[in-house]
Structure 1
Amino acid sequence: MKTPYIVLALGAGILLSCHQQGQQQSGVVTDSLPAETEKKVNCYEKTVGRDTIQLTLRYQDSVATGALVYNFFEKDKNRGEFKGIVHNGIIRGKYIFLSEGVESSRPAIFKVTKEQAFEALPDSIDSQGLPVFSPDNNQLKFDSIPLEAGACR
């Protein structure tokens, strides 16, 4: 008979301690949080002539996800999702998009800061038409014109 009361008492103790921890943490001032936890969404855009590229990134630990849009003048607009792994300011990921009603995917790499995002340039194109990048981050080449940080749309 004592076992159910012991389990009930332990459960109540755990709930009470969790509730008290939550109350203590709710008084934390967000200004004192590290910079990487303050801003979880970054938006970037680049316009060259009539061509526009937009990138929105959301961060969860070392994973970045978001939207990527290529709107090139007189070409079909590519709009899709980007998901990648962040390591030392470089995100290696996959871009899954719709173009002409067909879903496609390709690798994509960005070097990001709070103010800019530089898209990696492929070393070559494989037999399926997909970009090939160096596996070594130090060997990557990036576009000289960055996407600039701005307000999310």
Structure 2
Amino acid sequence: MKVIKGYLAPDLLIEGNIHTTDSARIDCTCVGKVTGDQEVDFGESAHVVGEVSAKVVRMSGKMEGNLTVEQKVSLLGSSRIKGNLITPPGEFSMDLGSEFEGNFQIVTPETTTTAKAAEGKSAAQSKHTAAASKSR
């Protein structure tokens, strides 16, 4: 693991979105979306209710929601995940004692890029349709 640049202490409760451009360790309770451009390490006291999306995730805490990882995910022995997990092939590890309840999907980077492009196109079409409906 590389040097941690950001830290959120266990006594914090954060409601809303969190984004980190560098490595971070989260030990607090987060209600909302957590995104990271690099590695995000969730400690044993971390509790996330919402989505997590990052390049690399090390999970020791609890999570309720969807977890999407670009490169590598490690579910450590104390982790408790309830939700969907999307990860690339060969980059998933789950320690003895960790718990996972939900759907598990292995996708190639090409599949993820295609899915994101389709989501963007669908959202743009929805906005266009909504705008057209308002102008009538």
Alignment TM class, shorter chain as reference: under 0.3
Q: TM-score, normalised by structure 1?
A: 0.21
Q: TM-score, normalised by structure 2?
A: 0.23
Larger relative contact order (C-alpha < 8 A, sep ≥ 6)?
A: 1
- Which has more radius of gyration? 1
